[in-house]
Structure 1
């Protein structure tokens, strides 16, 4: 089973550093780019809960080797495009200066219709649209012997059943910043079993939660790009490692509905992704083999 990792965009630069002596100073020109928003708006929905707390984390890109600052927004609003709500859904910053914005809504409302998230930042407007995507339950988690790659690997066998009657895409969250995107081409309408390998062993008794998220084709492709270009563990929703195109666009200067989804302008977007996805989680307790 191939391991999937996410890597910070600064790590490849490490190979450029050359130390000629302990007193030499090495100057390198680090790449710079346009300042961008990073928007973590992946809303994981537990359909068994009556209320869903939505959390959106917004930060800004910064120079290499510098911390990523939170973004001070003017406003975040959520709109139902098919059945407008009587009152505006406005997110409130959880604590001043954190860049974490929260709002709670009835879960049932989020499972229907098309939803539009608007980010207002420095008099510019970013929009992304989504609809809820379902996910199946995880049928079973079992611990394998982990000997395929290395004696120190921890193998977990995951069993789930594809949602029947449609083409499906899923994203598995294995914790520790490890993700897998999959489509049901080869297991459509069937139960499917596969193994995932963690590089390091866990202590006996460790609880390891594994989640399956619903995904549409666009979110699946987005995650595949992130995963394929990555190796180490990070959060791909909060700190995208590369300029991978999500579903946010800057609509400040767009006044023609016919160009709303125009993605030809490479500079016309923020980093990150907005999605309503069902999350089903199971936990396995690590045993001594």
Structure 2
């Protein structure tokens, strides 16, 4: 009997092994495009003069070895009212930097990039952000009234059409969370924005709700309506694709190619003022 069982297992193993085939999944590839990471963010309480822009080339989905840094480009940002130009020096790493930028709330700026004989351009307005007036913890307002949430309190300006972008990162976690909001229903009022980490319902999600001693890093940005629309789509895609979620698509930013419009750039040119703070749970 034992010999019969061993023989049967051996034959079954051979049969299963013979059925294993390597499946080569074809991935559709598109043209290589310039990727623009141009976030000129002015932290409250600082001069905001030191800014950087990163340029790279897009790559195939499974390509993790190529050097994508773009060097040798000409990069500058212009104040559309005064005409002041801020030239970003090539650091030969794909990063371009300046220490002379002058941020002005409500001012429009134009980004110009010249690369491979083509000129890319984007225009954006530097948006302000209100002060954070209070930080506290509670359990009353979240989706689960038994776990801790952080509360960020601020007063929305009376002008209509204010948009906000939040970056939350629990210290010790690998990735941050992003949220966006606007003042459609709270214009000119005090706002209590809360954030929590719910109990994981996915075995691959190892994040845990907040506990005493946890530290949450918080960035709150004032953003334009156009950037709000752009980042909302990206946040939806970061969340994964479910039955009621958006299908990932190539999202165009605001960087256009003046020389060859079909060869548009990916990425976005944004200008924001932001608050940076942290909260330690008790």
Normalising by the smaller structure, the TM-score range is 0.7 to 0.9
TM-score for the superposition, normalised by structure 1? 0.75
Task: Please say if 1:247 is aligned against 2:244.
Answer: no
Which residues of 2 match residues 9-158 of structure 1 at below 5 A? 23-67=20-64, 69-85=68-84, 88-94=85-91, 96=92, 98-107=93-102, 109-111=103-105, 113-145=107-139, 148-149=143-144, 155-158=149-152
SS for the counterpart of 1:174 is strand
SS for the counterpart of 2:24 is coil
Which residues of 2 match residues 174-189 of structure 1 at below 5 A? 174-175=168-169, 176-189=175-188
Is contact 1:78-1:116 (8 Å) kept? yes
RCO greater where, 1 or 2, for CA within 8 Å and sep 6 or more?
1
RMSD: 2.6
1:209 maps to what in 2? Answer: 217
Which whole-Å CA distance do the structure 2 matches of 1:144 and 1:112 have between them?
35
Q: 1:165/1:90 Cα in 2 relative to 1: closer, same or farther (>3 Å)?
A: closer
Which residues of 2 match residues 220-239 of structure 1 at below 5 A? 220-231=228-239
Is contact 1:110-1:276 (8 Å) kept? no
The correspondence for 2:266, drawn from 263, 268, 271, is 271
Q: 1:148/1:79 Cα in 2 relative to 1: closer, same or farther (>3 Å)?
A: closer
Is contact 1:248-1:272 (8 Å) kept? yes
Aligned length: 242
Deviation, structure 1 residue 91: 1.0
- Per-residue deviation, residues 189-233 of structure 1 (Å, max 9, x unmatched): 11111321225235743432212111111011111111122217x
Q: Which stretch shifts more, 196-205 or 272-281?
A: 196-205
Which whole-Å CA distance do the structure 1 matches of 2:27 and 2:220 have between them?
37
1:7 maps to what in 2? Answer: none
2:11 maps to what in 1? Answer: none
Is contact 1:135-1:213 (8 Å) kept? yes
1:262 maps to what in 2? Answer: none
Deviation, structure 1 residue 132: 1.1
Which whole-Å CA distance do the structure 2 matches of 1:111 and 1:285 have between them?
31
Which whole-Å CA distance do the structure 1 matches of 2:168 and 2:61 have between them?
28
SS for the counterpart of 1:52 is coil
Whose radius of gyration is greater, 1 or 2? Answer: 2
Which whole-Å CA distance do the structure 1 matches of 2:269 and 2:193 have between them?
28
